[in-house]
Amino acid sequence: MKSKLLTAGWIFMLIAGIQRTVSGFMLISMSEKDVDSIFLFILLGVMFIFITLGSFRKGEKWSWWCLLVLGFAPPVYCLIAHGVSAWPIVGIAFLLPGLIIPIKPFFCKKG
């Protein structure tokens, strides 16, 4: 039987992946000239969705670490390189519940 915490966590991570994918398409609609940013957001969103629906949902520990790194690296870079803006903060806000809520199922010993 799957933990309710794990279920809540992967739902939050799925929302974070959808948010990042939508952000990429919003950059396209805003006629963003930086193709690298557009590709980064869409690629990260798709990776979030696939990792979440695959390994994270099953409770595999490597997927938690992978989503931690993939989740924090781009927003932290954007905050450092471009200054404080809404999108990196929103990205972190969607990411944190998905990582914090299922900590017990991922890292506590089963028994």
pLDDT tens digit string along 50-59? 999 999 999 8
pLDDT of residue 53: 94
pTM given for the model: 0.83
| Pair of tokens at residue 61 | 């520990």
pLDDT band at 91 (very low <50, low <70, confident <90, very high): confident
pLDDT of residue 10: 92
pLDDT band at 97 (very low <50, low <70, confident <90, very high): very high
Position of tokens 């957001």?
41
Mean pLDDT of the chain: 87
| Pair of tokens at residue 19 | 């948010």
Distance separating alpha carbons of residues 109 and 96, to the nearest angstrom: 22
Q: Which residue has the higher pLDDT, 61 or 27?
A: 61
Q: Three-state SS for 107?
A: helix
- Burial category of 18 from C-beta neighbours within 10 Å (exposed 0-12, middle 13-18, buried 19 and up): middle
pLDDT of residue 110: 64
Nearest to 63 by CA among 3, 14, 27, 20: 14
Task: Check whether 34 has a pLDDT greater than 90.
Answer: no
